[in-house]
Amino acid sequence: MSNRQLLTVSFLFFLFQQTYAQRNYEGYNFLGIQGGISFFDIQTDDLVTEQREGFIAGFTTRGGFRNNFDLIYGISFQSESVGVEGSDPLGTDTQKIGYSVQGVQINFMGSYNIIMKHLSVELGPVFSINGKMKLDREEYEDYILAGYNTLTAAEIQDISVFNVRLAAGLTTGLEHFRISAQYQYGLTNMLGKLNDQGLENNDFKGNSSTIILMGVIYF
């Protein structure tokens, strides 16, 4: 999907949510900006990985739906990092090789208010569109990944572009400023695209695992 198509889809989702939220039962609809840090890893038996920090920032809306339930929609830019163990061809230097994954995620979640406008739990799907798992440093391109004889660090960059995650979290704070802790688990195989590239392993399986801590300002 091109950047223009992504922006078009995001705008249509945003327009739908805004229109629907005007019909909410509790009489409020907040637009907010959010940002925070993420702790990203890949749960897989095919690579030796290390969780690393990244960041996330974007826009969100929250509208009353019915009784104690809200609807939340958000569009965020994400920059995630992960380490993968590998060694130089001579086996004299072993590193946790850094990779970065950048993309956009769209979420549509339901929220239950334990304390109205102050404490809530959220659950819902997240749709992520990302680029390659790009090597942070070119000098590690020829490093052999742990557990393999020929698979190099450069060969695992072309991961799946579209992924679906399930998110669950807790949000607390004031009416117009809240903090959120969220866990996202990947339901799709983010390494699946590697299986079509004739690599040493043709059965890669990996699911994203992300912890996100954010602040949200509502207007």
Whole-angstrom distance, CA of residue 204 vs CA of residue 193: 8
> Does 24 have pLDDT greater than 50?
no
Which domains can be identified in the chain, with CATH numbers? 3-218 (2.40.160.20)
What pLDDT, on a 0 to 100 scale, did the predictor assign at position 70? Answer: 93
Task: Please say whether the beta carbons of 218 and 32 come within 8 A.
Answer: yes
Mean pLDDT along residues 184-204? 96
155 or 64, which is more confident: 155
> Does 177 have pLDDT greater than 80?
yes
Residues 6+ apart with CB under 8 A from 199: 151, 155, 156
pTM across the whole model: 0.86
For 123-176, the pLDDT digits (tens) are 999 999 999 999 999 999 999 999 999 999 999 999 999 999 999 999 999 989
